[in-house]
Structure 1
């Protein structure tokens, strides 16, 4: 089980494809989720593997990275 499974189930309920979703992550437990969605956003202080697969990098959580990206 990982976070992508939760997004997949939510997508079924809301009729949204993973390719249409955006996800934010900063740790190793976010890697599978980030790889599955269409808009992959990593926080600036993320683990190196996450930074590699992200399509966008935003500020850290302390710098309101999610808000700044949106």
Structure 2
């Protein structure tokens, strides 16, 4: 999983002040950029992520969405 996401922290959004308008508001939002949809899916399906996810299961609520972006 390490190195799968881009090291472009200025392009990421995480936490901070938000102006919620629709849907369920969350106290923390994180946006991570990957090189491709395939890389993002590989990261999600990786043994490392699934092991980390198992610590959260049943203890926290999380919404995760993988979407294609545009350049």
- TM-score normalised by length of structure 1: 0.27
Greater fraction of residues in helix: 1
**Relative contact order, higher structure (CA 8 A, sep 6+):** 2
Larger radius of gyration: 2
